[in-house]
Amino acid sequence: MNRVLVTGANGFVASALIPVLTTKGYTVRGVTRLSCNGVPDNKDVGEIGLHTDWSSALVGVDSVVHLAARVHVMNEQSSDSLAAFRRVNLDGTKRLVEQAAAAGVKRFVFVSTIKVNGEETEEVPFRAEDKPAPQEPYAVSKLEAECALQHVCEGTAMEWVVIRPPLVYGPGVKGNFFRLLKLVTKGIPLPFQSGTNVRSLVSVYNLCDLIERCLESHAAANKVFLVSDDEDVNIQELLLKMALAMDVPSRLFCLPPQVLRIMASLFGKKNEINRLLGSLEVDITDTRESLDWEPPFSLDQGLRRTVSLWNI
């Protein structure tokens, strides 16, 4: 029986992953920072960083799926955001990897971010073999964690796998995606009828399916994989699909992207509008071919499952 340790076990992705792994016959142990009801065989390790003791959680574990991370902070309070990200995403990950290797863990799956490749694409989609170009502290800390993982695993029997997802959506998603869902369901007119960008997304269901494949496939060992729904859309198409999934009318009108960017800058929303109007396209050809894997859910199916299982 394969025992899997899932960190960040009460988080957005883990909440979908743990039932999938349990159904597939894995024995799952969840790790959280604090004691948490509803997490199987839960171990709380306190604050994650350079001195976190993961040893009791790793006893008898065959594989690790590392989801716990310090993610984007909308109202950053730290005077040194990169150091704050590094404490959790680099130091905490490296500490876990070192203790996992010492405990005899066979495979370590690290869920990183496509932002390791960069913030936007222009004509050519991101590929796993691209030279990394992180631009934000969060992405920098994730790349450094990837490098630490690979370095620690060298000379040990533990195999590593890195998965870099773009925006992950599903029940419980936050940020721009949630705000768009709320606006669409309320019937508020939105100025995105002239969308020309290209955006890759991945449903939490497709991401979890790939994580499970990476736990079991020999071909996954010591490789980086990109993931998406393999169905890229612009902002207009996404909003239309959201409206269709929720069975509400779409109310879109046209404002030129340059006008939207100017207005967003005036209201301090430059980053938010760039995420909506910019392109970020992912090529998952290598993932599909290396792992004999196809996303089991289309974008439309992922959106319908999201809204049917979640009271927007």
**pLDDT tens profile 216-269:** 999 999 999 999 999 999 999 999 999 999 999 999 998 888 888 888 888 888
Contact status, residue 187 vs residue 249, Cβ threshold 8 Å: yes
pLDDT at 258: 82
Alpha-carbon Rg for the chain, nearest whole angstrom, is: 20
Report CA-CA distances (Å) from 10 to 14, 30, 39, 82, 293: 6, 8, 7, 25, 27
pLDDT at 269: 82
pLDDT at 73: 59
For the chain, what's the residue count? 312
Contact status, residue 33 vs residue 45, Cβ threshold 8 Å: yes
Q: Specify the long-range contacts of residues 15-21, CB closer than 8 Å, at least 24 apart.
A: 15/172, 16/170, 16/171, 16/204, 16/205, 16/208, 17/65, 17/67, 17/208, 17/211, 17/212, 20/208, 20/209, 20/212, 21/212, 21/215
Contact status, residue 116 vs residue 163, Cβ threshold 8 Å: no
Active site (annotated) includes residue 169:
no
Contact status, residue 302 vs residue 206, Cβ threshold 8 Å: yes
Catalytic site residue from 26, 138, 169, 205: 138
pTM of the full structure: 0.94
Q: Would you say residue 144 has pLDDT above 80?
A: yes
Go through the domains of the chain in sequence order and give each one's CATH number. Answer: 3-164 (3.40.50.720), 175-196+234-277 (no CATH)
* β-strand pairing of 63-66 with 3-7: parallel
DSSP letter assigned to residue 284: -
Reading the block at residue 233, the tokens are 């859309």
